[in-house]
Amino acid sequence: MPAIHSQSERLSLEAEQHLPGGVNSPVRAFRAVGGHPVVIQSASGCHMTDVDGNTYTDFVGSWGPMILGHAHPAVISAVQQVAQFGLSFGATSPREVELARAIKRFYPSIDLLRLVSSGTEACMSAVRVARGYSEKPGVIKFEGCYHGHSDCLLAKAGSGAMTLALPDSAGVPPSVTQHTYTVPFNDLAAVRALLAEKGQEIGVIVVEPVAGNMGLIPPLPGFLQGLRDLCNEHSMVLVFDEVMTGFRLSRSGAQGLYGVVPDMTVLGKIVGGGMPLACYGGRRALMEKVAPLGPVYQAGTLSGNPVAVTAGLTTLEQIDAQPDLYQHLESIGAQLQTGLEKILQDTGVVGRVQRVGSMWTLFFTDRPVVDYVTAKTCDTQRFASFFRGMLEAGFYLPPSQFEAAFLGAAHRSQDIDAFLQAASRVLGKVS
């Protein structure tokens, strides 16, 4: 048996005896980049420390929620205070109402909302409500966009605009996805063609307004407004999955940044302040279809959990109290992008940096990445080498070419400078 060189390696191997692949979410297993995952002991601000005492500057932020930084004192204090009064009631508590009020203040498009425990649950529920309202079974989703692991949204990418989607996971019968249609992201013509063929059957379009699950891919000019117009024309419900972008790209997420108003919005990650919490909401006419007001059933024992609600509410209060937050995120994001682009030019490494606000990806490809097909042109082996080199240098990036990285309020200009210095050395070696 090979020698074990670290506590992280030992714990990872032990975890494989108890957890599938040694992890509780697949991308954590480092299969795309090689080696054993680091096991994190603690985190504070923009830094994480593993069980071997190594400290990393973090550009994952728990996959997006930690916009204030890890272990923010106000959030930790609020959670500690409320936890002493009970972890779950199974009944309404005052902070649920406060959080709902705060979300609606940030998101004027939401008249009513329902708190749930995960982004997957929120997306699944939003699509169910949209189908119940439209009374049409068909759902359009976009190749490479991820809306959680509910059966009907796990549809295989690359199937073409006119082709019924096949399941993208074992255990999902083809009959479950027979009403799910996939089209390329950023391709309005493909959506129009599909609607010309199947429009009478389709009642819902669900989209990440800024894609983050095939790397960071912005919407092309007019794409989101085009979806809005098509939904109006065909009496369909437009659902924005803002699990990643919510409260991150602006106080009103992507819809606030781009000025396009969906019928329904799904929020997660930041809205829970690092705790398991998400929500879906939208126009009153749609949300009044949800039980107990209407015939669309959805329930959850831990929905509105008082500890999670407190973490989310405190996070939103802190965002509200920092008027320069998004200017700061844009400033360090631009610093990172400009610096990386110069390094690519200087080293001759083929790549491009794509960024919207505090979300970004370094793609190892020579072409603009606008959809799933162009994302798949990336050199994933070169990314894996870059990831390992940066990890060794003390910088924690998403362990996949096809995941967005995140900046937060705790990152400072000097953190970006240090990252760029390390990136210059590492990219110089992989050129």
Q: Which residues are catalytic, by number?
A: 146, 241, 269
Q: What is the DSSP letter of 211?
A: B
Task: Name the residue type at position 354.
Answer: Q
Which residue, 376, 399, 402, 377, is CA-closest to 386?
399
Two structure tokens written together for 138: 């068909």
Residue 296 and residue 271 in contact, taking contact as beta carbons nearer than 8 Å: no
Q: Residue holding tokens 């690519």? A: 344
What number of CA atoms fall less than 13 Å from residue 89's CA on the CB side?
Answer: 17
183, β-bridge pairs = 142
Strand, coil or helix: 229? helix
Two structure tokens written together for 186: 């950023």
- What is the dihedral angle through the alpha carbons of 117, 121, 127, 129, rounded to the nearest 10 degrees? -50
Residue 166 and residue 137 in contact, taking contact as beta carbons nearer than 8 Å: no
Distance CA 431, CA 416 (A): 21
Long-range interactions of 376-384: CB distance < 8 A, separation 24+: 378/215, 378/402, 379/350, 380/32, 382/349, 382/430, 383/33, 384/32, 384/33, 384/34
Residue 284 and residue 112 in contact, taking contact as beta carbons nearer than 8 Å: yes
Distance CA 13, CA 124 (A): 34
Strands 138-142 and 112-116: unpaired
φ, ψ of residue 167 to 5 degrees: the values are -60, 145
For the residues of 287-339, what is the DSSP string, one character each? HTTBTTTSSB----TTTT-HHHHHHHHHHHHHHHT-TTHHHHHHHHHHHHHHH
Two structure tokens written together for 96: 């649920």
